[in-house]
């Protein structure tokens, strides 16, 4: 019986490992009698094929010139969660063959894909294509439907013969080669445009990207030290001995080992609270870049920071920790989960001193995540981890805690000044955005209709530069006032069909549909498309 089960498990694993994608290649003739390879790709439902892993290759000196290849979609990988370009529906690709010197052509196709639970191994398959019957009328010409009913074989030469009104149909005639978001200086935008035209859409690294990649550990260290410093604020420091006594740690612990364990559990709860809070804020705010550029959002943050700042000057008292006392009695002799829960509660109810710092880190995390930095999800957790660092030592009775005194009042007032300055900044930003008028999208050769721009670019075989903007977007106005007025930028953009797509309501159709189609996470966002030749 045991051997039978092992055999069945092995058989099921083998079945699961079978590649579900189907690739076929058929030689066709274009209307101009050019040699064309028609590559058909069948993708099952709930599966995706990675665009960067799909390759069609022939031996040198023969060359394949792409005549039609659908634009991939940008979406989260079902396994890693990272944003990547994928194909989610069956498609066809047309390649013109040049320098053909044989009647039998080996064509190698490489691909890899996944479903929601399994990432399949890379596949390499070689097809032997015969051109012996090139002049035979039995050889299919491009334009006739293939065996794949949902994947028509179009005539590559006549691909741009019609202009459908739907922008979705028009986008299938283009390939997305580059995308950037946020304010760009003239030099940054010029580098982006040159890279999109000459380097296959690989945009140069933004300063923030370089900082995150090259100074990652320094960023982590800054957040850890910042979290550690939060323990010295007037809202937290006086409560440390009280909370240690409640959970049975510190000098009252039965042993240092037990005290350290209880302190570590308490600190774990604090770190987990900020980490979960960060995930909720970031993952439920996919259009945070647009939200952060809203005048009402900035003014709301300014009011909140002003309220917290006045509390630091004792104009009134904001003390969330009094709610904590209702739950502290539960910690007496409680289990590990109770101690973790009390730590999480203490972190959330730390008071006016900690709230602005936590809110600022949440805003930063959401903003960075909206720009595609997946590691930004960890920023709130790292802050909480820094705040939790001294708790195992304090729980073991090994930590030295400074005595409360007048110095705490000075620190409190210093925090108040910093928070008030932050409130002034957000208020100024909000009023500035509110006063600014929306730019004119039809000036200086800019179109305002995406279908019109795509149709023109398709006719003229020119690349498309799309500027996604909104009237409430502060960086959009800054781009119009500075970078887009730069003489070199204007000259470089002359080679593009330029269109401004106004996404005034990013969470409502049709704006949401267009933003999702181009994986726009914040405004402004710039997209470069090139026609499928």
What CATH code is carried by the domain that includes residue 89?
A: 2.60.40.1250
pLDDT digit string (tens) for 167-181?
Answer: 777 877 888 888 888
- Whether 193 and 233 map to the same domain: the answer is no
| Judgement on whether residues 246 and 373 belong to the same structural domain of the protein | yes
The DSSP bridge pattern shows strands 123-130 and 113-115 to be unpaired
The two structure tokens encoding residue 385 = 């981890």
Q: Is residue 88 assigned to a domain?
A: yes
Query: Model pTM greater than 0.75?
Result: no
Residues 303 and 389 in one domain: yes
Which residues, 6+ apart, have CB-to-CB distance to 441 below 8 Å? 447, 448, 469, 499, 500, 502
What is the Cα–Cα distance from 105 to 157, expressed in whole angstroms?
A: 23
In this structure, the answer to whether residues 484 and 505 fall within a common structural domain is yes
Count of all residues that appear for the chain in the document: 533
More confident residue, 524 or 294: 524
Domain that includes residue 125, residue range = 19-159
Q: What is the pLDDT of residue 135?
A: 44
Cα–Cα dist 495/112, whole Å: 36
In this predicted structure, which of 77-81, 158-162, 432-436 has the lowest mean pLDDT?
A: 158-162
Average pLDDT over residues 496-525: 82
| Angle CA 499–524–214, to nearest 5 | 130
Tell me the C-alpha distance between 531 and 71, whole Å: 10
Return the pLDDT at 472.
Answer: 67
Residue of 39, 38, 57, 188 whose CA lies nearest to 124:
57
Residues 200, 256: one domain? no
**Distance of alpha carbon 475 from the chain centroid:** 19
Q: Residue 11 falls within a domain, yes or no? A: no
Whether residues 298 and 369 fall in one domain: yes
Q: Answer with the one of 435, 460, 483 that is the final residue of a domain.
A: 435
Q: In this structure, is residue 303 part of a structural domain?
A: yes
Q: Which of 387, 418, 435 is the last residue of a domain?
A: 435
Residue pLDDT, tens place only, 108-164: 999 888 776 556 666 788 888 876 555 433 333 333 333 322 223 233 322 222 223
User: Which contacts qualify for 14-20: CB closer than 8 Å, 24 or more apart?
Assistant: 16/118, 17/120, 17/121, 19/113, 19/120, 19/121, 19/123, 20/44, 20/47, 20/113, 20/115, 20/120
Residue 337 and residue 305: Cα distance in Å, rounded? Answer: 33
pLDDT in tens, 267-289: 888 888 888 888 887 665 545 55
8-state DSSP, 52? G
Query: Does residue 395 share a domain with residue 421?
Result: yes
167 within a domain of the structure (yes/no): no
pLDDT in tens, 1-51: 333 333 433 333 333 345 688 898 888 766 556 688 889 898 988 888 888
Q: Which residue has the higher pLDDT, 146 or 504?
A: 504
Single residue among 435, 470, 493 that ends a domain in this structure: 435
More confident residue, 311 or 93: 93
**Total number of domains constituting the chain:** 3
d(CA 138, CA 122): 35
């Amino acid at each position: 019986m045991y051997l039978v089960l092992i055999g069945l498990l092995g058989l099921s694993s083998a079945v699961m490992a079978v590649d579900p994608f189907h690739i076929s290649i058929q030689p066709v003739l274009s209307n101009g009698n050019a040699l064309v390879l028609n590559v058909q790709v069948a993708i099952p439902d709930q599966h995706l094929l990675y665009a960067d892993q799909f390759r069609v290759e022939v031996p040198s000196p023969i060359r394949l010139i792409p005549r039609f290849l659908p634009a991939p979609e940008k979406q989260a990988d079902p396994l890693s969660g990272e944003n990547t370009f994928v194909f989610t529906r069956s498609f066809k690709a047309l390649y013109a063959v040049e320098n053909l010197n044989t009647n039998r052509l080996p064509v190698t196709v490489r691909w890899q894909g996944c479903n929601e639970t399994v990432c399949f191994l890379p596949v390499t398959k070689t097809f032997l294509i015969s051109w012996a019957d090139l002049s035979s009328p039995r050889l299919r010409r491009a334009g006739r439907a293939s065996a794949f009913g949902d994947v028509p074989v179009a005539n590559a030469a006549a691909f741009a013969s019609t202009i459908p009104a739907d922008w979705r149909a028009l986008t299938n005639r283009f390939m997305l080669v580059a995308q950037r978001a946020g304010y760009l200086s003239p030099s940054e935008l010029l580098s982006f445009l040159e890279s999109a035209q000459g380097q296959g859409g690989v945009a140069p690294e933004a300063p923030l990207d370089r900082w995150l990649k090259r100074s990652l550990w320094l960023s982590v260290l800054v957040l850890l030290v910042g979290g550690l410093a939060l323990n010295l604020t007037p809202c937290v420091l006086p409560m440390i001995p009280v909370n240690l006594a409640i959970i049975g740690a510190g000098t009252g612990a039965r042993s240092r080992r037990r005290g350290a364990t209880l302190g570590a559990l308490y600190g774990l709860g604090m770190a987990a609270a900020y980490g979960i809070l960060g995930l909720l804020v970031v993952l439920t705010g996919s259009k945070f870049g647009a939200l952060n550029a809203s005048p009402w959002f900035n003014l709301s943050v300014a009011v909140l920071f002003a309220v917290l700042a006045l509390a630091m000057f004792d104009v009134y008292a904001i003390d969330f920790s009094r709610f904590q006392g209702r739950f502290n009695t539960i910690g007496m002799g409680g289990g590990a989960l109770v101690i973790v829960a009390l730590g999480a509660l203490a972190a959330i109810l730390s008071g006016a001193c900690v709230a602005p710092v936590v809110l600022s880190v949440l805003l930063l995390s959401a903003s960075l995540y909206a720009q595609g930095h997946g590691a930004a999800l960890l920023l709130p957790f790292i802050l909480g981890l820094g705040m939790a660092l001294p708790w195992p030592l304090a729980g073991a009775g090994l930590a030295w805690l400074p005595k409360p005194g007048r110095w705490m009042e000075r620190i409190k007032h210093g925090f108040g000044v910093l928070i008030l300055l932050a409130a002034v900044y957000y208020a100024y930003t909000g009023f500035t955005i509110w006063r600014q008028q929306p730019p004119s999208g039809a000036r200086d050769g800019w179109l305002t209709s995406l279908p019109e721009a795509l149709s023109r670019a398709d006719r003229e075989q020119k690349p498309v530069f799309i500027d996604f903007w909104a009237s409430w977007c502060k960086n959009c106005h800054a781009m119009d006032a500075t970078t887009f007025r730069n003489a070199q930028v204007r000259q470089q953009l002359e080679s593009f069909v330029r269109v401004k797509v106004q996404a005034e309501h990013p969470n409502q159709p049709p704006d949401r549909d267009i933003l999702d189609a181009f994986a726009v996470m914040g405004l402004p966002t710039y997209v470069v498309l090139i026609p499928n030749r």
